[in-house]
Structure 1
Amino acid sequence: LNPWLAMILAAVLAAAIAGLVGMPTLRLKGYYLAMATLGVNEIIYILLVQLKSLTNGTDGISGIPSLSVGGLDLGGPKAYHLVVWGVALLMLRFCLNLTRSRVGRSLRALHRSEPAAQSLGVDTSYRKVQVFMLAAVFASIAGSFDAFYVHYISPESYTITFSIILITGVIIGGLGTIWGALWGTVAIVVLPELLKRLNDDITNLVFGVLLIFIMVVWQGRTQGLWQSLKSWMTRHTTGGGATPPGGSRPPGGSAPPGGAAPPGAEE
């Protein structure tokens, strides 16, 4: 089977599974939805491990061929990285265009208020399943590129721990934003490398504690941890402290000359 055709078929299969899973689970919201999808992830993992005749169990499938275009082998690191970055930029461009389209506007309305979106005629259930399926296609493409690069794939490559790390990255960057997903990806790639220098076994512990913090303290917030940290630093480094309620602090944080009240204060 041609590798490019296999990648397309895998993406179609991923979209179909996401559609079937999404219809019942998307009634949940926020982190409860994330936990439900993690449960489905574990079920699929167990099935793949048990179907040894198809997947070879935990031993996985080896000998996966490299990608090629017109006889040009893309198995080398430089060529492969160029292709992967090119596809990633195309996917990013697609998402940016989507946010500016009619579908994107309906998704923003859904993100802000589902009842309000429904009152405007948005089929919220349909839109949720659409986005769920699109995310599955993107994840499938990424997994295919990984498999064709290392020439191997196994259920052990995508455990529930890996899914938890991905969810944590999205929350770190910020929910509901494209750039938040990019920042979150940088975080979950760089942070494990830094932690490995301390201890190879500490990565899962740190991500577990971070996820518990997010579930208990950060519940219901869409602003990412990085964005919130920037906002906190801005508030505490400009104007010498918190901004007075109902107004803004004068430049430099000092009172107006002569003790005069700010404009509009005397009413």
Structure 2
Amino acid sequence: MDASAHTQAWLSESPTDLFGFSKSALGAGVQKFASGVLAPAIWEGYRRAGNPMCIAASETNPASLTRACEFVRAGGELMVDSGAFIWRSAPERTPWAKIVEVYRAISEAATVPVVFILPDVVGSQDKTLDALGTWGNAILSVIDRKHQALMPVQTGDMTPEVFVTKALALLKRPMDGLALPSNAAAFPPELIKHLARVPASVPHRLHFLGISRNSRGLQSRLIHLNSVWPDAVVSCDACEHRALVGDG
């Protein structure tokens, strides 16, 4: 049985993981951001609940950007993704200039650290490096250093450590951690071991894009992560209110 199959078998049968804590505790230390929240009613519900939220910059309009700025000005916890996944079939149409200005506005308004996701193109290492080379430094220049700038790691012909090294060389300041796609063009859990070989300058901060804190998929990823970055600060985001439609 290969490592991936062994992990899936364990998740199905074992009450505890390989490192001595229960599966139910695996996600306990993972911060969860609620995504898909730009609609006013959904936003207000999560805001009143004090829930960390995630927005896609490319989807914002003036009203939703104002709400986001007011939220972070009041100390709300926010993650801001570029929203490049919306343009994955036509990455050349990604509105990067708008995204830069959305990042700038939120960075300047925030009184607490915000998590920002650096440019990428879903499913393409080469196009992600192109986007980073063209827009990465412009985005970093508008993100105050009190915030976190995380770089998405796409998979392809390059190993993750080679990809991260090439990405670092394009940026004029250090990144604050990595983000792994976990939905569209997902980063395979078995490749997480390669994080042991990324440059030592990369902080052990990891965000799983598009996966629920309570999912079996995240549990599998956390097992792999614990073997290479046991001290990692971890978060995830998911649009759980859509997943629950029809559940009563």
Q: TM (normalized to structure 2)?
A: 0.20
Q: TM (normalized to structure 1)?
A: 0.19
Structure with greater proportional strand content:
2
Structure with greater proportional helix content:
1
Pick the structure with greater CA Rg.
Answer: 1
